[in-house]
Amino acid sequence: MTALKNWDGESMEKIKTSVIIPAAGQGTRMNAPINKQYLTLRGKPILSYTLDVFERCSLIDEIILVINKNEFKICRQQVLNPHSYSKIKLVEGGSTRQKSVYEGLKKVSPQTDIVLVHDGARPLIKEDIIVQSIYETIQHKATIVAVPAKNTIKVVEKDGFVEYTPNRDFLFEIQTPQTFTYDLLLDAHEKAIQEDVEGTDDAFLVERMCVPVKIVRGHYNNIKITTPEDLIIAESLIDLFSGEH
């Protein structure tokens, strides 16, 4: 177990922390012949960047990597074997992201207290955000990383006309990790299964249980790689912050 310390350096209770990294999606918008997680940035697979951050974070005890059942070989060859990862447990994913996260939840250590869920295709997450997410979750039970919306957002009717413009001061772009106490997230997923609900993210499932979710301020460079343009942006950010990755 990891001894978590508060900002004054005083020892808090020992906790067990796991991160679930869903990486089973095909990423059809990338128009690539392979899963986008295995595309490279400066010669290194996207997924490797993501795993590296959690592997070196001392507050993370285990990494549950959820991948497509047909990609165990490529994952081992291109991502796991070239590195000395010690925390990773491979798990077969489901047909949707939500189902993959649930499969991961079923495989975490029985002693797990805190669970983070982080997109495999967000390779530029920073360790300070991981630490802050864990710290805030100990206090609030549910947190999500987010950044204030930069652009004006319009709510549009089905016929294409603007219905109204919400106040941008209250709008945030949601990222990952999303972090919860283990029992809370498991209950939220099982409730969603029972009621046949598919959520856009894990926080949505927790919100349905009337549990408040706290925002942890993230970084704008914590992008999710979805399209070919994102690869160019990510490589530029890696060059800019080369000392951190």
Per-residue pLDDT, averaged over 36-62, amounts to 95
Structure-token pair, residue 90: 């491979």
At 35 the pLDDT is 84
> Residue 11 above 50 pLDDT?
no
Give the domain ranges of the chain: 13-240
The CA–CA distances, whole Å, from 86 to 55, 62, 63, 131, 176 equal 8, 8, 9, 19, 23
Q: Show the DSSP H helices in 67-126 as ranges.
A: 72-75, 97-107
Structure-token pair, residue 150: 């930069």
Q: Residue 134: CB partners within 8 Å, gap ≥ 6?
A: 4, 17, 59, 114, 116, 179
* Long-range own/partner contacts, residues 137-141 (CB < 8 A, 24 or more apart): 137/179, 137/180, 137/181, 137/214, 138/4, 138/12, 138/15, 138/114, 140/212, 140/214, 141/180, 141/181, 141/184, 141/211
As a CATH number, domain 13-240 is: 3.90.550.10
Percentage of residues of the chain with pLDDT beyond 90: 85
Per-residue pLDDT, averaged over 146-172, amounts to 96
Q: Show the DSSP H helices in the chain as ranges.
A: 46-56, 72-75, 97-107, 127-140, 182-194, 202-207, 228-240
Alpha-carbon distance of 118 to 58, in angstroms, equals: 17
pLDDT digits (tens, 9 = 90+) for 113-126: 999 999 999 999 99
pLDDT digits (tens, 9 = 90+) for 86-114: 999 999 999 999 999 999 999 999 999 99
pLDDT digits (tens, 9 = 90+) for 183-229: 999 999 999 999 999 999 999 999 999 999 999 999 999 999 999 99
The model's pTM:
0.92
